[in-house]
Each structure stands twice: as C-alpha cells, then as structure tokens.
Structure 1
Amino acid sequence: MIIDLPNTSTAALNKRLVKLRENAGLPMIGRVLTLIVVTNEVVGSESAIRSANNASREHPCRVIVVIRGNRAAANRLDAQIRVGGDAGASEVIVLRTSGGLTTQGAALATPLLLPDTPVAAWWPRNSPTNLAADRIGQLCQRRITDSDAEGHPTDALAKRASGYSPGDTDLAWARITPWRALMTSLLDQPPYEKITAATVGGPESAGSIDLACGWLAARLGIDVRRAVGKQMVVLERKSGNIVIEGINSRTVEVRITGQEPMRAPLPDRSVAECLAEDLRRMDSDEIYAEALTGLDRVIHSSSSDR
C-alpha cells in the first residue's frame, strides 16, 4: 500500500502514521532500528529503496528516505508512506524536499525516528566529508557509505580516512568480506610463513579493491601493490605463492605452490546483502578503521600480475 501526502508537514505525516496504526493495524512491534537513506532523484531513489527493503527482511525497520531536490525551487515537502508488499519487512517513509528544506533533512527525520531503537544512515552516493559531523550523521550510531558508487572511489576513501569516526563503515568493505574470510582461512594453514609481498588486482575504479589492499597492509605490516586488471590476490612467501583469482562473478580459483588448484564459490554480493551485513552491528568496526589507515601503504601500479 502506498499513500501519497503532497505538500505536507512532518506533523501531518505523523498523524497519518498514527491513524494507519489504529485503523489498519500498522505494526510497530518488531522494528529493530531506523534506517535513514539520504539520496536525490539523479542518483536513483527507487534503487536505494529496493535495496533497503530487501535488507529489511533481515532487519525489520522503519526506512526514512530523504530525497534532496531542487534547492532553487519553493520550499515544499511531498511525503509518501509505503507499507505491506511495497515495503518489504519495513515501513518506508519517503520525504521529497525542495527549496530550503533540502538542507533540513535531520530536522524532518527526527520526529519520525522509532523510539528506543538504534539509528543508521546510508548515503548511496555523494556522502559528506565528515559523516559524524553531518546533521543526519549526528543522529546515528551507524553511518554507511559506498565508495564503489562514487565517481572517484580512491578520493572517496581518502575522505573516509581523513574524517573517520567510530560507527562509520562502507558497503565496499562488506563486498570483500568473503574474500577476506578466504584469505584468512588460507593463511591459517601450515606452513605459517611470513608473507613477504602482496598484490591485489581488480578494476581501476573499485574502492573495495583499495580497501582489500589497505586491510592486507595493516594486518601484514607490509606495503601492498594495487594492480589494475583481473580480480586476484597474490601473496608471496618463502615456500611459494598463494594466488586467488576470480574466474567469473561467482567462482574463484585458488593456486598454492606444491598443491593442486582448487575452485571455490565466491559470488558477487548485492547492495542489499552488503547493507544487511552493515546493519548487523552498531558498534565501531576497528578492522575497517585499520584498513583505512593501511591505505597509506598501498602502492598503485598499472596492471596485475599473473
């Protein structure tokens, strides 16, 4: 069910929500958090809403979508309430703003926050430099960005590193969770030798690849080469290399010196899957913070090694 409230106010919106609960039995019990999505029409608000709805099946929540429209237009708030099949396991409140209201997202969202539950914010693109200092970011325990979706992921990660605060995270970080788990499991096997060099390859504009480099640099205490080309990881050690190479979007091949190659399922992760992972915790992700500091030890080059 979708209810449109053109040219409205947050007070009128709240009254309509109360009426829905009374007349239609709109559920409140079971909502575990509030997710604020900050976007604009150019980015594609419907795509962000679909991802939030899918993530809500794991984390039933209230989703507040703040869409920043034309600042030069007259002040106006057009709202929409989505429940039932149009909202996944959540209830979605869409706030389309224009004029001076485009800068008042935090004030508009505050009256709509669920009481006594954590608050998370997600910027699908065009995130602020300092998330914790942003007015919406100040409302939240968890602040989520996506450096892979930015025009210049490397610059976006530099921005995240310079303005990091506990609670910040990145969907690009969640995208490499299976890769990090695989690398960790391979290194947790004999002969337990020190890794002397590491190379991570992948598309040039991929913040997730940069973060993988930063993570390895921080955990291994070495410089890591960031190559452009096939998605792969090469870890060098005295007894021979460990190579993990993407064969397609769902499978990787692992080659270890002296052993037969093997293949493992490692499918690409959707935005919704990454968002659901980031909503599982509201505390500080110290390993992500270490990966950001490790970016200083990443050496960029033009092509990947085989």
Structure 2
Amino acid sequence: MIVDLPSATTQDVSKKLVRLRNQTGAMTLGRVLTLVIVVDEADADAALDAASEATRQHPSRIIALVLGNKRGANRLDAQIRLGGDAGASEIVVLRLYGALTNHGRSVVTPLLLPDSPIVLWWPSTSPDDVAKSPIGAIAQRRITDAATSTSPRKTLQRRASNYADGDTDLAWTRLTRWRGLLTAALDQAPYESVTEATVTGASDSPSTDLLAAWLAVRLRCKVRRARTRPGGGMSSVRLERASGPIDLVRTEGSIATLTQPGQPVRRINLARISNAQALAEELRRLDADEVYEESLVKGLKLVGTTSVTASEAVADGEAPSVAAARKAGDKAQREGRKLTGNAMVEAAPSATKDAPTVKKAARRKLAAKTSGATTKKSTARATTPKKSTARATTPKKKS
C-alpha cells in the first residue's frame, strides 16, 4: 500500500498513520527502532531499497528525509508505504523543499516511535560533526559512509577529531570478514608476534586505511600503507613473523587466498558486502563501538598519511603479489580436484574387494540348485511309464 500526501504537514502525516493503524491493525507492534535516513534526491531510491532490505532482520519505522531544492518555496511532500511495498517495516518518505531542508529535526520528531531507539544514516553527504548536528543529537546511533565522499581520508580524519559514542561508518563494517580471517590465522600455531605489516588497497579506500589503523593498534608494530589505483577497494594484507609471512590476498572478484607457513594455500570466499548487508550488521548493536573508536582516533595517527605504491611494496618484498597469489590459488584448486578424483578411484576397489568371493559363492549355489533339479528330473523320467508300453498291453475292442 502506498499513500501519497502532497503539500502536507507533519500533522497530516501523523493523522494518516493513526487512521491506517485503525484500519489495518497496530502497525507499530514489533518495530524495534526508528531508522531515519537523511539523503539527497539522487540517492533516495537506492537508500530506501537498502534500508528496506536491511530492516527485514530488524523491523523498524523508516523515515526518509529527502532533501530537495533549498531555493524553492517551503513545501513538504509525504508518502507512506505499508505492507508489501515496505517489506517488514513501515516507510514514511518526507521530501523537503526550501527552508524546511534545514529543519529536518523538527519535521521528523512528531513521527518517531515512542520509547524506541533512534538510528540515523547518511548514505552519502553528512555533517562534519554528526553527533552535534541538530538531527544527529537525537540519535543513539549515527551511521555514515566515508567511501561516498570526495576525499575519504580527510573525511576519516574529521570523524576522528569529532568522534562521539554511537558514531560508526560503513567503511569499518565492510572489514568484518577481513578482521575475522586475520584473527583466526593468528590464533593458530606457531604463536609468534607480528613484527611488521603491510596493507594494500585503493588510494581512495577508507576501509584500507581503517584496517591498517586497526592492525597498528592491536599488533603494536609498524604498519605500512600501500596504494593501488582508485576504485579497487581492499587488495591484500601481509603480516610478517619469524616463521614466515601470513598473506591474505583478494585475487579476483569474491575469491581470496590465505597463505601461512606450514599449511596449504586456501581459497576463501571474500565477497564485498552490499550496503544493505552492512547496514543490517550495524543495526545489530546500539552501544558504542570501542574497537572502531580506538582504530579511528589512535590507529590513523600511528599509520600516518605516507604510503607507497603496490608495485614498490611487492618489489621490496613487503607485500604479496596478486598474480602470484592467483597462481597459487589455482594450483591449490587443481590439486584439490586431483586428490578428490584419486580418492574416488581408490574407494571403488575397496568397496568391491569381496565381489569375486561373492560371485564364486553365488555360482556354487546356482550349480548346486541346478544339479539337484537335474537329478530330480532324471528320477522322475525313470519312474514314469512310457505311453507306448501302455498302448501295447491294452486289449483291443472287438469290432
């Protein structure tokens, strides 16, 4: 169900929600939070699709503040989406024009769910200090995305200087699997300290900067930042230890290889997560993220802004080669298929090794049955009188 309310007021929207609630039932039951989206018109549809998908795991009231032309006349166009058009949530789209674009907090406040957490999400442009912005001050959780800014590294630096409890960024959320795989690798023998690390990724990848910052804080070692061409995202991580390096390399698309001393090369699914998946992960927690805070505020300073190119890092032996990792992964895949094929071939004789004995026993049993049947048949033939003898002894009738 989609209900349009052109040139409306927040009071009109609130009354319409109450009428729809009386008609269709208590829509607010089961809503765990209010998700407020502040977005421009160009990114509104994509943001609403992502929010609708993410809130299937966290049913919410989604209020989208779509900022239109600030120079036009003051106007509020509203739209209410329910049922199949809103997924597991209910969506209120408020398009603001004119001076109303600067008063989003006043517009959204009457529509917030009572006694429920408030989460704000800026899919693209966001204030420099999100916690102290008028609308950000009412939220327990504030989600930004540094990857959408024109200068991601400077954006992270501003986030670090203005950090407040409840702030987070989707660039950090996209690192969850990378951090999990590296932690799991270090939890295996030999339990050695990491002496230095190199993180390689695109020059405009805030996730690469945050991963390097996280390693610098957690491992307390020197961490280098190597850069590739813009737009490529995370590429590789090398952790140097006395027994040899641990290399995690994204070779192509969603495939990565993990190389450790004394262990075979492993191919891993390391797909990039969508905005909906990242948003759903962030909605699972509403408290402060201390690890993100530590990486953002302390780690970025430890890494610094100096970086080398990926080719220079590979030439100096500080970073793994993506081409070499791809070849090693392909070789490991071929060997795995070969071992699987050999195992199937070896399993076939073992499963039928008793077949000759079974066949011999079956032949003997069949021969015995055949012999017995032949003997009975011969005996029966021997004791049965011939018809010709019966005819010879039977007297003929007189004519």
What TM-score does the superposition give when structure 1 sets the normalisation length? 0.97
Which amino acid counterpart does residue 112 of structure 2 have in structure 1? L
1:294 pairs with 2:283: no
Kindly state the Cα deviation for residue 26 of structure 1 after the two structures are TM-superposed.
5.3
* Alpha-carbon contact 2:195-2:222 (below 8 Å) kept: no
1:124 pairs with 2:129: no
Partner in structure 1 of residue 372 of structure 2: none
* Alpha-carbon contact 1:33-1:117 (below 8 Å) kept: yes
Kindly state the Cα deviation for residue 2 of structure 1 after the two structures are TM-superposed.
1.2
Superposition pairs of residues 102-121 of structure 1, within 5 angstroms: 102-121=101-120
SS in 2 for 1:154: helix
Partner in structure 1 of residue 79 of structure 2: 80
* Alpha-carbon contact 2:60-2:89 (below 8 Å) kept: yes
Kindly state the Cα deviation for residue 177 of structure 1 after the two structures are TM-superposed.
0.2
Q: Which has the higher helix share?
A: 2
Alpha-carbon distance in 2 for matches of 1:175, 1:262: 21
SS in 2 for 1:295: helix
SS in 1 for 2:41: coil
SS in 2 for 1:284: coil
* Alpha-carbon contact 2:61-2:91 (below 8 Å) kept: yes
Alpha-carbon distance in 1 for matches of 2:10, 2:307: 49
Gap regions ≥5 residues in structure 1: none
Alpha-carbon distance in 1 for matches of 2:222, 2:124: 30
Kindly state the Cα deviation for residue 223 of structure 1 after the two structures are TM-superposed.
2.9
Alpha-carbon distance in 2 for matches of 1:13, 1:65: 13
SS in 2 for 1:273: helix
1:152 pairs with 2:156: no
* Alpha-carbon contact 2:153-2:204 (below 8 Å) kept: yes
Partner in structure 2 of residue 174 of structure 1: 173
Partner in structure 2 of residue 265 of structure 1: 269
Which amino acid counterpart does residue 239 of structure 1 have in structure 2? S
Partner in structure 2 of residue 210 of structure 1: 209
Alpha-carbon distance in 1 for matches of 2:244, 2:148: 36
* Alpha-carbon contact 2:76-2:97 (below 8 Å) kept: yes
Superposition pairs of residues 186-225 of structure 1, within 5 angstroms: 186-225=185-224
Kindly state the Cα deviation for residue 259 of structure 1 after the two structures are TM-superposed.
2.5
Partner in structure 2 of residue 39 of structure 1: 39
- Output one character per residue of 1:186-242: Cα deviation in whole Å (capped at 9) or x when no partner: 111111111111111112211111111111111111231111237110001111100
Q: Which has the higher strand share?
A: 1
Partner in structure 2 of residue 27 of structure 1: 27
Q: Bigger CA drift: 234-243 or 296-305? A: 296-305
- Output one character per residue of 1:39-60: Cα deviation in whole Å (capped at 9) or x when no partner: 1113x10000000000010000
Which amino acid counterpart does residue 309 of structure 2 have in structure 1? S
Kindly state the Cα deviation for residue 24 of structure 1 after the two structures are TM-superposed.
2.4
Partner in structure 2 of residue 234 of structure 1: 238
Alpha-carbon distance in 1 for matches of 2:81, 2:252: 37
- Output one character per residue of 1:252-306: Cα deviation in whole Å (capped at 9) or x when no partner: 1011133321112222101000000101111000000011020112242222532
Which amino acid counterpart does residue 108 of structure 1 have in structure 2? V
SS in 2 for 1:117: coil
- Output one character per residue of 1:127-161: Cα deviation in whole Å (capped at 9) or x when no partner: 11111101111111000001112221111111111
Partner in structure 2 of residue 252 of structure 1: 256
* Alpha-carbon contact 1:222-1:297 (below 8 Å) kept: no
Gap regions ≥5 residues in structure 2: 229-233, 315-319, 321-399
Which amino acid counterpart does residue 64 of structure 1 have in structure 2? I
Alpha-carbon distance in 2 for matches of 1:271, 1:300: 28
Q: Bigger CA drift: 293-302 or 59-68? A: 293-302
Kindly state the Cα deviation for residue 68 of structure 1 after the two structures are TM-superposed.
1.1
- Output one character per residue of 1:61-85: Cα deviation in whole Å (capped at 9) or x when no partner: 0000001111111111111111111
Identity %: 48
Which structure is richer in relative contact order (CA contacts within 8 A, separation 6 or more)?
A: 1
Which amino acid counterpart does residue 35 of structure 1 have in structure 2? L
- Output one character per residue of 1:13-44: Cα deviation in whole Å (capped at 9) or x when no partner: 000000000112252110000000001113x1
Superposition pairs of residues 92-107 of structure 1, within 5 angstroms: 92-107=91-106
Bigger radius of gyration, 1 or 2?
2
Alpha-carbon distance in 2 for matches of 1:226, 1:61: 39
Which amino acid counterpart does residue 189 of structure 1 have in structure 2? Q
| Runs of 4+ with >6 A deviation | none
What TM-score does the superposition give when structure 2 sets the normalisation length? 0.75
Q: Bigger CA drift: 191-200 or 272-281? A: 191-200
- Output one character per residue of 1:94-115: Cα deviation in whole Å (capped at 9) or x when no partner: 1100111000101111111001
Q: How many residues align?
A: 305
